[in-house]
Amino acid sequence: MSTRLIESLATTEAMASIFSDGPLLQAMLDFESALARAEARVNLIPPRAAAAITAAARVEGFDTVELARQSLRAGTPAIPLVLMLTARLRTADPESAGFVHWGATSQDVTDTALVLQLRRCRETLAVDHAKIDRQLSRISEEHAASVMLGRTLLQPAPPITFGLKSAGWLAAIRRSWANVARAFDDALILQFGGASGTLAALGERGLDVSQALAEELALPCPAAPWHSHRDRLAALMTALGVYTASLGKMALDLSLLMQCEVSETAEPGGAGRGGSSTMPHKRNPIACVVTLAAARRIPGLVANFLSGMLQEHERAVGGYQAEWSTVAAIAQSAGVAVASMAEATAGLAVYPNRMRANIAATRGAVFAERAMVMLCPALGRGHAHRLVEEAARQSAATGRTLAEVLAGMEHAARLLTPAQFASLQTPEDYLGSAEAFRVRLLSSTK
């Protein structure tokens, strides 16, 4: 399945395939064939009818263009689908044709088909998530001692390590994925309720058929049908939104670290990747670009889904009908983001020497806090702050390091030792609990 050009930056081929016409139609047909087998298991319809319906419920030969056209008129694809399937049965086995869709309603078909699609999405997302987890774990270990600037409000701050930074990305992505996994567990359930959610057409056998149908589709059977209760799907959509935003945070950091003036990391390159149509020197952060686009697109989609939760009585007028395209867009946004960051982390180049050089370029300004802490016991916080603030101004104006300026100031020269002055130019001496936090992040999901 090729991705449509208009969606080329919004999905992957794997995710686009899940939501393409053929697999979607087959998911609906799988519901119909599973329903027939379930009803045969509890002796509601003849086994021969179940076999005939299962044999006919194959996507080959269905006209998806005509199905889409009729769906717009019917308000649901389930109605024309059932008519087409029934017509196919009348040719192959007329006696079985009357048992198609027995006791079900249109939304049973579409909701369960959506659940089946989302189950495939979960498998695809999980593969790429696992890649990111492994790769960030490796990067964090490899760069546990790679010192770099901390950056607050986009300005230089006391040093951290790239190991800590990458562990922070990983921990956030793990936490977000744990929520996604729980939401999938809750949302991937059967929908089967019939006209008003009571399965009245099946008499006293409704629960029996529900359980058998759930087993046929390998889905949990809920306590009751959920036609107009969209909370579980909403939780999943929201969790996917948060997960994509966590990926987007990493993408934003990496894209900033890739700027020429910073040059501390680089995405993997290659033929046709990250170039420019006019500037041959460019190595653009394409994985970050695609991930950030997804992370910025998805909040509005989640909001659309949440607004559609207000559904009337036992079945909605326009509520669930609005969901299919929204759910597909949310899932595909998460899919392209996780696939892109899996690719980025797999070949991420990290430049520790450049990181150290960027620290040195501040001429020790990022150690101003350390200097103040060392002077506070003798001078008090206020006096120490004013002294170091003046030293930082002189350093910026003269090009001398903070340590050199402080060494020429009477109070500092009298109070600080040569070793302390040297530490104002040594990032490893001012990392605090960075390594402890890094290790804790790698081993925690909280």
Residues annotated catalytic, as ranges: 276, 315
Instruction: Copy the structure tokens of residue 435.
Output: 């390594």
Instruction: Look at strands 147-152 and 349-350 and give their pairing.
Output: unpaired
As a whole number of angstroms, the distance between CA 71 and CA 56 comes to 20
Cβ(23)–Cβ(17) under 8 Å?
yes
Question: How many Å apart are CA 76 and CA 117, to the nearest integer?
Answer: 17
Is-contact 18 120, C-beta < 8 A?
yes
Buried-state track 407-421, b at ≥16 Cβ within 10 A, e below 16: bebeebeebbeeebb
Angle at 13 between CA 172 and CA 173, to 5 degrees: 5
Residue listed under structure tokens 């960075």: 434
Mapping DSSP onto H, E and C, the string for the chain reads: CCCCHHHCCCCCHHHHHHCCHHHHHHHHHHHHHHHHHHHHHCCCCCHHHHHHHHHHCCCCCCCHHHHHHHHHHHCCCHHHHHHHHHHHHHHHCHHHHCCCCCCCCHHHHHHHHHHHHHHHHHHHHHHHHHHHHHHHHHHHHHCCCCEEEEEECCEEEEEEEHHHHHHHHHHHHHHHHHHHHHHHHHHCCCCCCCCCCCCHHHHHHHHHHHHHHHHHHCCCCCCCCCCCCCHHHHHHHHHHHHHHHHHHHHHHHHHHHCCCCCCCEECCCCCCCCCCCCCCCCCCCHHHHHHHHHHHHHHHHHHHHHHCCCCCCCCCCCCHHHHHHHHHHHHHHHHHHHHHHHHHHHCCEECHHHHHHHHHCCCCHHHHHHHHHHHHHHHCHHHHHHHHHHHHHHHHHHCCCHHHHHHCCHHHHHHCCHHHHHHCCCHHHHCCCHHHHHHHHHHCCC
Question: Distance between alpha carbon 429 and the CA centroid of its chain, in Å?
Answer: 37
